[in-house]
Structures are given as structure tokens and as C-alpha cells.
Chains A and B, each alone.
Chain A
Amino acid sequence: MRIDRRSFLAAGGGVLAASFGAGPASAAVRLFGGGDERDGRTLVLVQLSGGNDGLSTVVPYANDEYRRVRDSIRLNADQVLALDDERGLHGELKGLKSMYDAGRLAIVEGAGYPNPIRSHFKSYDVWHTAHARGRAVGEGWVPRLVREAFPKEAAPERMVHIGKQVPYSLHSPTSAPVAFEIPESYRWFGQTPEASDAAPESTGNPALDRLRGVQADANASSRRIRDAARSYRTAADYPNSAFGRALRVAASLIDARIGGRVISVDLNGFDTHRDQRRQHDQLMRTLDEGLAVFCGDLRGRTAGDECMVVVFSEFGRRVAENGSRGTDHGTAGPMFVMGAPVKGGLYGEAPRLDRLKDGDLVHTTDFRSVYATVAQRWFGADAEAVLGAKYPLLDFA
């Protein structure tokens, strides 16, 4: 008899669940070989598009230099949720703060990479491919992760983006990601194009062959996605924002166990060159409301033990504010990792405000250490094979 992780946990695998995050290749991962087709381990990637201001997210509120160079946009002690007497979370991040207090939120400070690029697109390429060469690699890091961790899985829904712009992290030369915004609209109207019986494997036009693959994936996933979203029952009160809705759909896919391994969502608007405070405060509120409800919704479910969330942005912003009460493009910033399997706390090292390079923070943790930890400790995959290089693991998982 084959025992799947879900029934195992339901049958009182509490000890096992507790051992999650207990170190390298946790018990569950070992038990199920890291490649078991039936467990529901899922990674949710939350992208803060536009370059999130890290110093307004994890705020060095007591730092004199911070106060000096952020004269008009700084957050004061009474506007942050103190983590200790040096730093605090942005005041809107109330839900994240309680997750932190409960030990379910890991904050990785000073995440970045060497020779930082301040172009949105090129910096994204680095984050999305986990490689300095960016798109020259030809593939995002997510397909590599899924391939290494679940070599036998082939469902198109193993990688899903919910939203408009699909990040390159999900890009694969051989297939297009399952991507949609509204589940109910994720269907054909009129007639469902059917795969041709007569058509050969290859038409001699690679672009056409690829699109035929996309069509087959669309056909295969359409009903499963819609059924999952439609049949989801929850008491959780998701906010009526694009971000909130996307997270709700993510929760429904995770709960329905349709085989999603990585689910990507994004929150836009972080390119705050002008009048930053108002916009950024609002964004923090949207982020917090969404993630708090999402994590709370999952907590009561089996799926909650199986879902890890990673929040990232393409870069932080310049330490000193600019002349328009905004900030220009910068470098390092914090990442968040959360969920039941996460060992909360502060990781990495706060970037020094008194040791800037070109007016920018110097990163203290390579973001690929977060990827590597997720790959190795959470998915039981060979992180080096996924990332093409070795990165020190962190202890949040």
C-alpha cells in the first residue's frame, strides 16, 4: 500500500509535521524521497514588482543615518512594529508581525547579489534565472527546481502564474506556463479546439509546435483550474484587490491538490520615484492584508503544512531619498519566507548604512541562498543542480 503524505498527516503525523524545518532533508522529505508524486508541497512566490524599498519595509528606525537621509519619507518609531530596538516592520505589516511573533515568518535581511543591476528588467532576469547571465541561460529557475524535485511530474499546472505578466522565472523553452487571471474566464468559448489526429508530432515550424503544446496544456488545465476555484469553500475574508483575489485562487489550487508545485503571484507599483510614502504605505497594507488572510486560511488545512511563501523584489531602493519625496533604484532588500514549515526569525544580516557603495546598500545574503534552502530543505532537491552553483543554506527550513 502506498501511503501519501496527506493521509499520513491526517492520521496523526503531528510529530512528523513538527519535524518540518528541523534541519537538512527533514524527515518527511527523506521518508518520501523528495520525489514523491503524491505529497502536496507547494511554493508560493510573491513578487513585489518595481523595486520595493527595503528600508521602508524592515525599517532601521533608530538609526541616525537613516533618519538623516530619509528626511521626508522616513518612518518614525511610532510608525513601525518594532522587532527589536534597532529595526521594525512597516506599521502596516500587522499580520506579518503576528506571524513573526508566532515564529512562522523568517525575515532574510540584506538579500541581493554581487554587482547589482539597477535596471528593473535586467535585475529581474537575475532573480528569475538565479544567474548573473540572466536570460542568456534560456530558462527560469522554477522549471529547473520542479524538474529536480519532481522529475516524474508532468502536469501543466505544476507551475502556475495568477495575474497578467508572467515572470521569466517560470519560463521554459519547452512549454509555456499555465497563466490566467480569472479562473472562470480560463476556458474556450464556442468550440474547444481539438488536437489534430492527423497532425504529425512536428510541423517543421518550431514556433507552431510550441504553441500546439501550449494549446494542449491549456486544454488539459482549464477544467481542473476552474473546478478547483469554483469548489473552494473558505470562511477566510480575502480583500477585494487583484492581489487578494489571486491569493484566494492560489489557496483553492493548493487545497484541491491539482499538482501545483510553484504558484506565482505579483503585486505591482513599487517603483516609487515620487511621493513614495502614500503609495508605499498602501502597498504594504495590501501585501499584509492579502498574506495574512492567505496564511490564516491555509493554517487550518492540511495544505497549510505544505505551503511555503517567499516574497521578493528585483531590488531595494537608494538609501537617500531623491528630490521628489521618492527613491531611485537601489540594491539589496529584505525577503520574507513564511508558512507553517518555516522556522521564523531574523536571518542574514542587516545591511550597514555606514558602509554604502555608490550610495547603495551592500548585500549581506545572496538571494540564491534562499532559493537553495527552499530547493534543498523544503523540496529535497539537489540545490546545486537547480541553481548551477553552491550557496550556503539558511536555517529557516
Chain B
Amino acid sequence: MAAALFAASQLAACSRTAGPPAPPAPWDADAARHLANRAGFGATPAELRAAVARGREAEVERLLRGGRGVAPFAIVDLAAIREACRPGPPEGYEHRLRVANQQQLRGYALWWIDAMLSGADPLRERMTLFWHGYFTTSVRIVRHSGMVATQHDFLRRNALGNFGDLLRGIVHDPAMLVYLDAHVNRAGEGNENFARELLELYSLGEGNYTERDVREVARALTGLSFDDAGRPRFRPEHHDGGSKTVLGREGRFGPDEVVALLLERPECARHVAGRMLAYLEGVPPREARLERYARLLRESGYELDPVLRALFLDPEFYRDEVVGRRQASPLDQYLGAAHRCRLDVAPLELRIAAALAGEDLFAPPGVDGWPRDNDWITTSGLMTRANHCGVLVGALGADDVLRMHAATTAEIGPGSLRGVPVLELPPTGLRLVMLRRAEEWASRLRARDAARTHLAPRALEDGVRDERDLAAWVAERGLAIRAPRELEADWARAIAADRRAAGVEDSGWLRRPAAEPVVRRALHRALASPAGCLH
């Protein structure tokens, strides 16, 4: 209650200093759709109607309060997983351990995607995905699934909490320590990797600290480590207890003192607020607005709740520059389509599809996480997503998946002889991982083809009668944004041609089995369009 009062007073303070208030944006289906896209992973027409009826404030409060949540995942820690892998021939131990780690992480990833799909707590999942990219850690380097899952669980629990708690926790987080070599950063044996990223990516931002600060922070962070179970453990024997000068302050600082110093800096609140706004709006905030949100964050003691509330109620969040113009990440796109169309897809399919399109959960491509803002789409990125959407709606099948991701068979490799491809070398490394995933996806599709969602009856249920209705239906269900009218007209023409080709031109056509491929194709066409990549 006290927190809510505090937040309300902050908001008031915020609007006082914001200059003349912007005219209130209308709260209609477009606004509700925008909020659902960015604060979650999209909404069905029925959910949008409910949100509009509820009113903006009530909808924002509903998102912040969160839902019933999902049953927790029981994480097996490092020691337990080792113990479980012990029985058996010793030479197979490493292999068993690797498999067990892969299985646990896969289970955890599917559990999380299921939570995102369920729509039970959309804002928490949205912000967890944000923090997962912000405090990047990759399982490819960390290797221990228990550590990675534990870090993620920590981020998820604090996703809507307090940034100070996040920063204080992450500094001791074993997965983070391994990822950035902090556990080998010892007194007299310094390693600056974590110190630099802590300053640059996690708190102040580049340009707001000196090279000396990096070195001194690295000294202050010595001694961070973990025990055999993979739990945080500070090792005083490795800590450099001498005096350090950090950001102009002198003292015998350790990790916690450094975090406190960072949180004191106004640059820290600016950095965090800037990243949050850029993520949720899709464009970096302008100076005055950034400063306003940074102050809100600082003055609330780094509570995230007031910032999110202020943002979702801010008329500027609903401005033309923002609405419908953010490039969806692959997961944004697939989850949104699956939710709106009620596609019958398993979390495994979504995980694989996203990974193959460059969004491999728990294995971001670099230290700064996934591509930011509007950097996702390339020519092949657009194609890959379009192709994957075709699979998700059932317009494409298992063989297509294999051909899409064929690693060797279709490609002419090294050492072709007189123009004849002779390469049959197995793929290696990451490519092998991706090929395996495509194979897994294909075999999954083969196993469940018969049970696939029948989209035609759904369209019929929603009142679709002719190609114009169907074009409007795929636009509304398939896209996260409102489609330009001209597109719908094009799609209606294409659907009419498909109907002719399929011989289903009578009025009861949607009840005929031959209508199903026409509907799938129509939905694929919408999802594969450039509008399908925006939200």
C-alpha cells in the first residue's frame, strides 16, 4: 500500500515537471493492442475488447499486479546433477553430465516458453526477456544448466521489482561470474572482463567511467566465486583488500560497496531507464523524456513498478512514432501469432523456430545480448521468419523444415570435383546444433501432423464467409499491427485464386476439407508479409 502511494506521488511529481501535459491518447482497440504487444506478447480480439472495457488504468494495474503465475520449475543444482551422473562407467561421465545439463536447460526453456504462451503473467515474462538480454549470460560458455536456470529464475522473480536488487544479486551470480571470467579474477591475478561490462553494459554506460575505474573495480570484485553446488560464495583469500579509488571515491571497497557506488550515480538510472524505454518503445528516448524517467527511477529508489506504470500511462507511449513500428524479435512474432490465432504449437517448436531465426534462449550471440531496437531484420531474416510462420500455421511441413535448414546436402562444399559436389562432410559446431534442431522440429511435425489445428473451423466460428472476410480475419489474427487496407484487398484476391484452384467456391466452402489449405495459405501470406514482423 505504502509503495502504491509512493508511486502515485512520484507520478504526480513526474507530471508536474513534464511541461504542459500531452493530450490524453484515446483508449481504444489500437491502444490496447499496442500495450498488449509491448507489455506482453499480443492479445486476441476478445482480450482487446475486455481491455478496452476495463479502461487503461485498470488494464495497466492488471498487468503490473500479474496473474496467477505458473507452477515453479524445480532446478537441479550443480552438485546434485554431478551426483546423478556418477553411476556408470567413469569414461562416460562427462558425456552423461553434458546430456543431463542439456536436458535440464531444455526443460527449463520449454517451461518458460510455456509460461510466455500461457499469458498468465505477460508483463513479468516480457520484462524477464528484457533482463535476460540486459544481463546477458550464455550457456555456451557457462555450461552448467543449474547455474543458468538459477540466474534466470532470479531475473524472473525480480523482473518487476527493484533494479538495485537485480544489480546487487547479479554481481554474486555464479552464471554471470563464469560468463565474464569474474571467478578467476583474483588479487594479484586480475581479469577486467566483468568489471568493464558491469560499468559499461549493466550500470553507467560507456563514457561515464575512466579506464582507471575499470581497473580499480576489477580489484574490488576479486574474491567473487561459488561453491560446489554452484551457489555464490565469497572467497576472502582471493580478495584484494587494499584501498581503491572508484569514481573519485576512495576506500577498501568490495563488490557490494562498488554496486552501492554505481547505484548512487545519476548515470546509472539514465542508463537503465534508457534501455527500458528503447526496448519497450522501439526507439531510444529523447533527452527530456529520458531525464524524466531516469529521475523517476532514481527517486523511487530504483523501483521498476513506478517506471512501468508511468510509461504505460504516458500518452507519448502511444504516439505514432512508437505504435506498430518496432521490429518484433522472432519470439515476439511467433508467440504473438500463436496466441492470437490459437495455433496448436508446442513450446518446443517455438523454441526451435526462434533459435533458428537467431533468438536462441540462454545463448545470446554476444555480451550485449540480442540485436537491439530495429536491428533484427535482414533480407534472410525476413525470409526465415516467413518460412517459419508457414510451418507454425501448417502451410509448410517437416520436409520444408529440413530443406530450410539443410546444412550440407544442398550445399556444394569444398573440393568439388569436375563440377560435381563431393562434399559430404558432417556439419560442425553451432551449425550441427542448428541442424539437429531442425531435425527435431521435423520429427515433431511428422508425429503430430494429423492432430494439427484446423483453422478453417475457427475462421467459420469467427463469422468468416467469403475471401474478403478471410483476408480481414488473417489480418486481425495474424498481425500484431493494423494492416493497411490495400493489403487486405490484395490478400482477398489471392484467396479467391486459391479457392478457385482448390475447387471450393460454393458458399459452404469453409466446411470442406479442401478449405483448410486455403486458410493456412492465407494466414501464412499475412504472417510472411513485412507487416508480420512489426508489433
Contact = CB atoms under 8 A, between A and B. Distances in A.
A395 interface: no
A206 B326 CA distance: 11
Interface in A143-168: 156, 161, 164-166
Given A164-B358, A221-B379, A322 B191 contact: yes
A323 B191 contact: yes
Contacts of B185: 323-324
A218 interface: yes
B387 A189 contact: yes
A203 B530 CA distance: 12
Q: How large is the interface on A (under 10, 10 to 19, 20 to 34, 35 or more residues)?
A: 35 or more
Interface string B401-420: 00111110011111111110
Contacts of B367: 120, 271
A45 to B, nearest CB: 16
Given A186-B380, A207-B325, A211-B377, A241 B428 contact: yes
B181 A273 contact: yes
Nearest to B411: A184
Contacts of B386: 188, 193
Nearest to B188: A323
Contact of B382 (A191, A214, A358): A214
Given A207-B327, A244-B414, A189 B400 contact: yes
Given A239-B414, A274-B181, A189 B380 contact: no
B534 A242 contact: no
A166 B378 contact: yes
B504 interface: no
B189 A185 contact: no
A329 interface: yes
A44 interface: no
Nearest to B372: A121
Contacts, number: 212
Nearest to A198: B486
B245 to A, nearest CB: 15
A199 B415 CA distance: 47
A25 to B, nearest CB: 34
B196 interface: yes
A353 interface: no
Contacts of B412: 229-230, 232
Interface stretch (A34-42, A172-180, A378-386): A172-180
Interface in A323-351: 323-324, 326, 328-329
B382 A211 contact: yes
A195 to B, nearest CB: 10
B525 A193 contact: yes
Interface string A213-249: 0110110011000000110111111111110110010
B414 A236 contact: yes
B430 interface: yes
Contact of A198 (B181, B396, B490, B534): B490
B378 A214 contact: yes
**Residue in B188, B382, B531 whose Cβ sees the most chain A Cβ within 10 Å:** B382
Given A118-B211, A182-B411, A189-B404, A322 B378 contact: no
Interface string A53-82: 000000000000000000000000000000
Interface in A12-36: none
Given A183-B411, A200-B486, A323-B186, A234 B366 contact: no
A329 B415 contact: no
User: Of B325, B380, B382, B417, which is in contact with the most chain A CB atoms at under 10 Å from its CB?
Assistant: B380
A199 B529 CA distance: 12
Nearest to B410: A184
B206 A196 contact: no
A164 B429 CA distance: 14
Interface in A108-122: 117-122
Contacts of B382: 211, 214-215, 218
B17 to A, nearest CB: 27
B378 A118 contact: no
B69 interface: no
B500 to A, nearest CB: 16
A289 B274 CA distance: 43
A393 B121 CA distance: 59
Contacts of B490: 196-199
B358 to A, nearest CB: 7
B280 to A, nearest CB: 15
Contacts of B417: 235
A205 to B, nearest CB: 6
B489 A118 contact: no
B191 A211 contact: no
A211 B383 contact: no
A274 B384 CA distance: 35
Contact of A222 (B200, B383, B384): B383
Interface of A: 117-122, 156, 161, 164-166, 176-191, 193, 196-200, 203-208, 211-212, 214-215, 217-218, 221-222, 229-230, 232-242, 244-245, 248, 271, 273-274, 318, 322-324, 326, 328-329, 358
18 contacts: A165-B365, A180-B380, A185-B404, A191-B521, A198-B486, A203-B484, A207-B374, A214-B382, A222-B383, A236-B415, A239-B414, A240-B423, A245-B411, A248-B413, A322-B190, A324-B181, A328-B192, A329-B192
What are the 10 A-B residue pairs with the smallest beta carbon separation, nearest first? A323-B189, A211-B530, A179-B378, A207-B325, A218-B379, A180-B380, A184-B410, A238-B414, A328-B192, A273-B193
Interface of B: 180-181, 184-186, 188-193, 196, 200, 206-207, 211-212, 214, 324-327, 358, 365-368, 371, 374, 377-384, 386-387, 390, 395-396, 400, 403-407, 410-419, 423, 425, 428-431, 481, 484, 486-487, 489-490, 521, 524-525, 528-531, 533-534
Given A185-B405, A218-B383, A326-B191, 5 more contacts: A165-B365, A176-B379, A199-B486, A214-B378, A318-B192
